[in-house]
Structure 1
């Protein structure tokens, strides 16, 4: 290896090591929530209602309280194509329209039992687009909920580095 190449690699590595802590500290919960929403205000409210209906709050925190809607927004914006995003938005509007048809009131005014009935209708429909919407909604809600810090630490007893390392012991 040439001396100049080695020196250049060492300098770039040192610069990376100096900037890495500053970059890592920039990521926190407040920067996560600053991402602009792909949903309109009414669509975001419908999403909150459906997420809360899927995993409601009880003696433990529910999906809405853990911010699973923000997780779904981020996942859809970063990991899914525009076509899937648009179908998801249409699915949210369809859920609200289905509530209006079934219960003569918007989804926001429905009680928990009516919301549960609506979820059952969405899951058992013959419409492929509605079935895909509900399947994606359910998958992302469960993924966002089960991978949240609260669930991992309080219910799964997840520990980042389990056990203790004893480096120098007599064999």
Structure 2
């Protein structure tokens, strides 16, 4: 192997190992920065109810209990372009008007069954011009945020930091390589 290539590989590996703790951390709401996406109180309430409808609480906390809605706000504000943010905000208005037309009530006052029906109806709308599905977008961020919360990582997925533990001392009675 060429010495330059070896140094490149070692350098890249060192950077990778040094950054592992940064991206393997589970998040909690204290870790989130302030979001620059300015949702009004009604939109924040709608987002928390949408998140609760997607992953409701049961024997384990739901997405609303783990404050995944705050994660979504920060992700949309920090990681998506302005046109996606505008479409995201417009999705709340579409949902609000659809709830008013279909059930004559605001989304937050609907039952769980009505919310599911409304979200399925809205998800079925396929606007080729926008190329943005509000419900699918929130659903994807909800699942991502939920699966990466500190509660889920530590209690349900039994997450351990790399390199985790090493059980190097245990009895081996028969191995594949032995003749006995």
Give the TM-score normalised by structure 1: 0.74
Shift of 1:41: 1.1
Q: Larger deviation: 145-154 or 155-164?
A: 155-164
Residue 93 (structure 1) aligned with residue 97 (structure 2)? no
Cross-structure match for 2:165: 163
For 2:29 and 2:104, how far apart are their aligned partners in 1?
39
Secondary structure of the residue that 2:57 maps to in structure 1?
coil
Indicate the structure with greater helix content: 1
Matched with 1:76 is: 76
- Tell whether the 8 Å contact from 1:56 to 1:64 is kept in structure 2 after alignment: yes
Deviations 1:79-116 (A, max 9, x none): 11111111001101211211111111110110111001
Q: 1:126 to 1:32 in 2, by over 3 A?
A: closer
Let me know the Cα RMSD of the aligned residues: 2.2
Rounded to whole Å, the distance in 2 between the matches of 1:113 and 1:70 is 24
Residue in 2 that maps onto 1:44: 44
Aligned to 1:142: 143
Q: Take 1:77 and 1:114, find their aligned partners in 2: how far apart are those partners? A: 29
Does the 8 A contact of 2:33 with 2:74 survive in 1? no
Cα shift readout 1:36-74 (whole Å, capped 9, x = no counterpart): 552111111111111111111111110011111110011
Listed one character per residue, the Cα deviations across residues 99-151 of structure 1 (whole Å, up to 9, x for unaligned) are 11111111011011100101111221233448521221111111000111111
Q: How does 1:5-20 map to 2 (within 5 A)?
A: none
1:33 to partner: Cα distance = 6.0
Unpaired stretches in structure 1, ≥5 consecutive residues:
1-26, 167-171
- Distance in 1, matches of 2:108 and 2:100, equals 10
Preserved CA contact (<8 Å) 1:88 1:133 = yes
Partner of 1:151: 152
Q: Secondary structure at the match of 1:58?
A: coil
Contact 1:49 1:108 in 2 (8 A): yes
In the other structure, the counterpart of 1:133 is 134
Aligned residues: 140
